[in-house]
Structure 1
């Protein structure tokens, strides 16, 4: 099924149309994808909640906690916690991203998921890898820290959270379109590539990519989106949900083809996520310069 949002964005961007997008993505899990997913200690997950808000969250465990058990079946020995807790008592759309910063490899696995005891069962509908552009290299520095799991909510970014966002070189964005599924994607750049205006708005550049426009295609149909910023050194997670819109004027932002403006509805800062701690190794050679230094 062709995605009307992707087709609209492709047309606006002046790239080829047809099956270059989610319509051309396979549903089965090839062996190389199964091996890659099984080697990862965390997955980024995205889904819409009962109120239509979209969130990006984490699933974590020892390598092997997520594994293929059939051509289109993935079993995850974990269930989502905040902010996705309780969503998969019934089957619903899910977007998953397996990512290995050490090798700069990433793979998206989208489909339908439901909880079975302490596991999440996933029936895949889209499985494909992404190029390593804008992915900073990191290596695991140690197991999860001992921090107690806490969750603090707000309706705007605090000053400390704005500094976190503006100093980030990586974040994840979850989107959802009714009848077309959920998706999670990586966004990366030099620190400062995400800007904030007060505590209620973020702006980031959309750089040249694979021209599939799966994220922007979903946003064309539904502006709801969820962002996840990781503190790679501690494992803390900053989850932000709100509404995004694409501005086609890149203004004076280096490397930008367009800009995405995001209005914040809710913020959730979670500690004790179970994510491993990562040490920075090197930036991506594809990162454009930023317009101004981070705060």
Structure 2
């Protein structure tokens, strides 16, 4: 097999544009290899001409500096366009001084390392510079460039700046805690600037202060407990200068600008990064959360002679969350085990047989968080009674709606297709284990057929964001089989994603093509998705495979991949209703199942209690599995494959012991079992097996 070139640089080596803190964060985020490639390409030791011209046309510049105690500060310099100019690619001259009351004045000294951010809100352009002060004089100061690089327009709000001729009396408010007016400014903000510092070898180009922009929907910064701030960190250029600096030194300087009054709010903070947890998961679009403990507050009133127009928000800002939506999602998660009403807000035709249904809560509660690839258990009030089914969610979380895409092929799906917008259905919280593992560093191959495309679409929607950024930097090969162009769902979506994301390659395979071309001339093939076809579409390298579709399709691909010596652990499956175990050839070195395998014929009668319904019954071997026992008692638990492969029936074991009749293909969270392949086992104390059902 071919090897994958990572392009990694040795930490601290002369050819690496990153210091040890940045490399540590890149490793934690899973972007080390990709960051090495883009860093070498994008970070220079000089300014390109377009950056030099760009800085010269700006009326302001953001600056990160460090005081004598090592505390970073975020500041802004102001001057008429032309106050910055570059006599050569390694030098930037700034003919301006710090604004009145700003500590930047004492931080700019010979040899000081500054971080600079040139920002043009009207065009959303921004370029960054790390430099050393080489001269300070009566007119300003001169900088020698150490690192120069551009940034994308993400999360920048469009604003027009104007100068004001008269300012009121200067006020410098310096206090240890936030005032009510400060909190009001923060909680309404859509932009902040954060300064940080890497205290390394002064001769290293990676050492010194940095300043960076963060943006979001108004209110994206939360004030907790009076003097703690929390804001989401969205996907960016994967350089992680700010987080890398904070990894080495948690001190940060924060700047909020009141764009109406011109007030500057400067905060000295101690920062920490939240990498996991329900609060992070609930905030749509957040990769991490940054928590800031405020230790000093400095507000400059009537110091800056600029005012700004009302904002024009970054176009894709709606794809990010808010704290209100996050709180509602957390509250909804606590209701995941309850049936809740959802109203079908909109119906969208995706193909000849597949429709998407956009669901909004009808009970006043929020939309639960989920992981792309998971499914939604629903209960439909049909004329013949309640029908319970599970349908995969086909979009990444938005915090406002759930989207499930359904092929018409039975009583339940027909009811949905016939009723449409306005109908109310019940649903439990999303669940399922067929999700994408972003921490793996192999290229991914997504293989689907028919309506099996739905979890793959949700995964792509969550991975490839903002029309240019990928949360998974490695190649993604998307291969889908359908009967014809007429039955091909989500072709336009796939064309858009492939157009904006270079790491995505889409192949549509039609068994009975009708002659039309897919959008943007996506690669199309005639036939079926088979192992033989895979061999012709991609070199057999080291991949993770994600498979979803009918049972025969999955079994063919699974057995074929195992025959090609693809490890079982690199094949991820979603079974849409098969009744035979798929994983027939587990790896010899795979870990043994944690749940005891038993023979039902050897079992003895055991009392079983279904906790939620209060139903109590004695299980005997002839009753079959615990799922079959529940159904014989008139209960209607969720189920899918009935063979331990899909995880739909997973339930909590509250007490007692159970065993599996066969190995499971779907993992279970701690404390849960799959009733479809489980039987109760006698305990020493003779107690009952208690299930949360």
> What CA distance in whole angstroms lies between the structure 2 residues aligned with 1:115 and 1:144?
27
Deviation at 1:148, TM superposition (A): 2.7
CA contact (8 A) 1:144 1:277 kept: no
Aligned to 1:106: 126
Change (3 A) 1:280 1:178: same
Task: Pick from 27, 37, 43 the counterpart of residue 25 of structure 1.
Answer: 43
Contact 1:47 1:182 survives alignment (8 Å): yes
- CA offset at residue 284 of structure 1? 0.8
TM-score (norm 1): 0.94
Q: Which moved more, 1:88-97 or 1:60-69?
A: 88-97
Distance 2:107 2:308 in 1: 29
Is 1:3 the counterpart of 2:19 in the alignment?
A: yes
2:261 maps to 1:234: yes
The answer as to whether partners of 2:42 and 2:150 remain within 8 angstroms in 1 is: no
**Other-structure match for 2:321:** 289
Q: Name the one with the larger strand percent.
A: 1
Asked if 1:16 is matched to 2:13, the reply is no
Give deviations 1:88-129, integer Å, cap 9, x for gaps.
Answer: 233211011111111111111111114222312111111111
Partners of 1:147 and 1:107 lie apart in 2 by 32
- State yes or no: 1:71 paired with 2:89: yes
Q: Does 1:200 align with 2:227?
A: yes
| Post-superposition offset of 1:276 | 1.7
Query: For 2:209 and 2:187, how far apart are their aligned partners in 1?
Result: 26
1:87 aligns to 2:119 (yes or no): no
Contact 1:108/1:128 (CA < 8 Å) preserved in 2?
yes
Moved more, 184-193 or 134-143: 134-143
- Find the counterpart in structure 2 of residue 172 from structure 1: 193
Deviation at 1:158?
0.7
Q: Identify which of 234, 252, 256 aligns with 1:225.
A: 252
Whether contact under 8 Å (2:75, 2:104) holds in the other structure is: yes
Match of 1:49 in 2: 67
Cα distance in 2 for residues equivalent to 1:184 and 1:207: 16
Which residue of the partner structure matches residue 134 of structure 1? Answer: 155
Partner Cα separation in structure 2 for residue 173 and residue 100 of structure 1: 17
Q: Does structure 1 residue 248 correspond to structure 2 residue 275? A: yes
Decide whether the 8 Å contact of 1:77 with 1:119 is kept in 2.
yes
Equivalent pairs, count: 293
Query: Could you tell me which of 214, 227, 236 is aligned with 1:187?
Result: 214
Matches of 1:290 and 1:223, distance apart in 2: 25
For CA contacts below 8 A with separation 6 or more, give which structure has more relative contact order: 1
Task: Say if 1:134 and 1:284, in contact at 8 Å, map to a contact too.
Answer: yes
CA 1:22–1:120: 2 relative to 1, 3 Å: farther
Contact 2:67 2:106 in 1 (8 A): no
How far off its partner does 1:79 sit? 2.0
124, 128, 143: which one aligns with 1:122:
143
Q: 1:163 and 2:184 equivalent?
A: yes
Contact map agreement 2:170 2:303 (CA 8 A) in 1: yes
Query: CA shift at 1:285, angstroms?
Result: 1.9
Secondary structure, counterpart of 1:175 in structure 2 = strand
Q: Contact 1:240–1:264 at 8 Å: present in 2 too?
A: yes
Separation in 1 of the partners of 2:39 and 2:196? 15
Does residue 143 of structure 1 match 2:164? yes
Return 5+ residue gaps in structure 1 as ranges.
Answer: none
Give the match for residue 262 of structure 1.
292
More displaced 10-residue stretch of structure 1: 251-260 or 170-179 = 251-260
Aligned-partner SS, 2:214: strand
Deviation string 1:58-103 (CA, Å, 9 cap, x unpaired) is 1111001011122211111112241212122332110111111111
Distance 1:22 1:174, change over 3 A: farther
In 2, Cα distance between equivalents of 1:19 and 1:50: 36
- TM-score norm. by structure 2 comes to 0.41
Q: Structure 1 residue 281: deviation in Å?
A: 3.8
Q: Secondary structure at the match of 2:92?
A: strand
Going from structure 1 to structure 2, the CA distance change for 1:182 and 1:226 (only over 3 Å counts) comes to same
> Structure 2: how far apart are the matches of 1:138 and 1:34?
22
**CA positional deviation for 1:144:** 5.7
Counterpart in the other structure of 2:647: none
Partners of 2:285 and 2:191 in 1: how far apart?
16
Change (3 A) 1:260 1:101: same
User: Which whole-Å CA distance do the structure 1 matches of 2:235 and 2:81 have between them?
Assistant: 32
Alpha carbons 1:144, 1:276 under 8 Å: kept: no
